[in-house]
């Protein structure tokens, strides 16, 4: 048996499907130039590949046919030689709608190997979100903005070839920079993309992450019962209705908080989260009525607080809110917990409003957001900005 190499790409559902597919395909084609064999494929857990759902694509490469066949016999690689995260907000973990609970992004990464994240953040910031593990590994950051487009659309901002350059540096056993350049010249026929791949290779560096370094939070998890342990008849657990709850400042009981399934959390699907100005809320009910996941609680004051474990970050609340600057969607990378915003507001209004002001300054206007078409040609307009950031590294 020869050597088998596996690369996993963790990406955002429909927003990055084509990008992830192209990257894993290109890994295999570049490896062909080294005389290796390979295959690429996707895997989605038990969740449909809808908005924001963390999903995975894999490339497995081998030195001979027999070794490749052994690798293909697995549903997915149990251990990988390199993990690539295409959206840095996924550093909080993935697969919240699958069977496993929340898995750290380096869950399958071999000890001592490399986790690559596309991000404008630095390593200490990303490690606030990346969960601790018992084995050391290396963290590499490929500087760039997250490349979002859509299921059938590819944003040609060179993210794919830059990733190949970084992989050639991080995992030269799979392919060399020379093989990457050969692939680009023969298949993509772009001198500019050769330059982007070469720049990524030359600039790419890693930092060592020690055992136990990172986010200390224990990811939520649950065990599937065996068939002999399942309840008889209908086995879907019913949920109670919910009810009023106390104001943290006054103790007054009121409002309504629905009871939620403790295993059905959706926060790893978010790229953006709502931040709410409770002092300007007119209690119109529109965010509460239109939220597709019923993630708003009616507070004892009659305003609406987003439950940030249930919120998937779709942005409908911002769209329907009639009050200017009452609800803003802010990038998830700015946050490191899911605590109640309303409780923070009630406990210290002045501090909350000051925090709110500084936080919404980071909010990107809805018409400039990169995931989901707003108008024809939007993605093409975003490519020059991405390429400029790529050139600067």
**pLDDT tens, 205-250?**
999 999 999 999 998 887 777 767 766 665 666 778 899 999 999 9
- Give the residue extent of every domain in the chain: 4-218+383-392, 240-362
Residue 247, token pair as written in the block: 């104001």
Cβ(295)–Cβ(322) below 8 Å: no
The position carrying tokens 């206007």 is 365
Confidence (pLDDT) at 374:
74
Cα–Cα distance, 265 to 107 (Å, whole number): 19
Which one is the CATH code of 240-362: 2.30.29.30, 3.20.20.60, 3.30.70.20, 3.40.50.300?
Answer: 3.30.70.20
Residue 5: enclosing H or E segment and its boundaries? strand 4-12
pTM of the prediction?
Answer: 0.91
Cα–Cα distance, 165 to 161 (Å, whole number): 6
Cα–Cα distance, 177 to 10 (Å, whole number): 23
pLDDT tens digits for 360-387? 998 888 877 877 777 788 888 889 988 9
Question: What letter does residue 104 receive in the DSSP assignment?
Answer: P
Cα–Cα distance, 147 to 184 (Å, whole number): 20
Terminal Cα distance for the chain, rounded: 40
Cβ(321)–Cβ(286) below 8 Å: yes
Residue 20: enclosing H or E segment and its boundaries? helix 13-32
Between the CA of residue 316 and those of 82, 290, 313, 320, 378, what are the distances in Å? 36, 7, 8, 6, 20
Confidence (pLDDT) at 331:
92
Rounded average pLDDT per 10-residue block, the chain, 393 residues: 91 90 97 96 66 88 91 86 96 74 93 97 96 97 92 88 98 97 97 97 97 93 73 67 93 93 83 95 96 94 95 92 94 92 96 95 83 79 88 82
Domain 4-218+383-392 has CATH 3.10.450.750: no
User: Strand 137-143 relative to strand 109-119: parallel, antiparallel, unpaired?
Assistant: parallel
Residue from 10, 19, 370, 8 nearest 160 by CA: 19
Confidence (pLDDT) at 381:
86
Confidence (pLDDT) at 48:
58
Cα–Cα distance, 329 to 311 (Å, whole number): 12
Handedness of CA 270, 197, 22, 188 (dihedral sign): positive
């Amino acid at each position: 048996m020869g050597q088998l190499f596996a690369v996993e790409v963790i990406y955002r559902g429909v927003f990055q499907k084509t990008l992830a597919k192209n990257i894993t395909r290109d890994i295999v084609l570049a490896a062909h130039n080294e005389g290796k064999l390979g295959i690429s494929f996707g895997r989605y857990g038990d969740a449909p590949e809808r908005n924001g759902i963390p999903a995975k694509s894999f490339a497995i490469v081998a030195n001979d046919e027999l070794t490749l066949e052994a690798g293909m016999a697995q549903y997915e690689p149990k251990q990988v030689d390199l993990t690539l995260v295409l959206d840095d907000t996924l550093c909080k973990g993935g697969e919240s709608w699958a069977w496993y609970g929340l898995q750290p992004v380096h869950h399958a990464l071999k000890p001592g190997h490399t986790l690559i994240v596309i991000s404008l953040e630095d390593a200490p910031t990303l490690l606030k979100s990346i969960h601790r593990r018992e084995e050391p590994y290396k963290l590499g950051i490929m500087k760039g903005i997250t490349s979002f487009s859509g299921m059938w659309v590819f944003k040609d901002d060179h993210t794919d070839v830059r990733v190949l350059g970084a992989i050639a540096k991080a995992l030269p056993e799979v392919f060399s920079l020379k093989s990457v350049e050969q692939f680009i010249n023969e298949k993509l026929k772009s001198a500019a993309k050769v330059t982007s791949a070469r720049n990524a290779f030359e600039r790419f560096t890693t930092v060592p992450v020690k055992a136990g370094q990172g986010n200390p939070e224990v990811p939520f998890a649950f065990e599937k019962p065996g068939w002999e342990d399942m309840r008889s008849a209908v086995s879907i657990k019913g949920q109670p209705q919910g009810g009023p709850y106390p104001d943290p400042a006054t103790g007054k009981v009121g409002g309504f908080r629905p009871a939620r399934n403790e295993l059905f959390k959706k926060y790893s699907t978010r790229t953006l989260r709502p931040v709410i100005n409770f002092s300007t809320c007119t209690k119109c009910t529109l965010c509460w009525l239109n939220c597709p996941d019923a993630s708003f609680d009616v507070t004892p004051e009659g305003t609406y607080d987003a439950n940030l474990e249930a919120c998937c970050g779709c942005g409908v609340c911002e769209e329907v809110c009639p009050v200017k600057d009452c609800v803003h969607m802010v990038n998830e990378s700015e946050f490191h917990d899911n605590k109640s915003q309303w409780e923070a507001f009630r406990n210290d209004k002045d501090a909350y409003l000051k925090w709110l002001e500084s936080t919404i300054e980071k909010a990107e206007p809805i018409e400039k957001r990169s995931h989901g078409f707003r108008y024809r040609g939007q993605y093409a307009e975003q490519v020059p900005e991405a390429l400029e950031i790529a050139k600067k590294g």
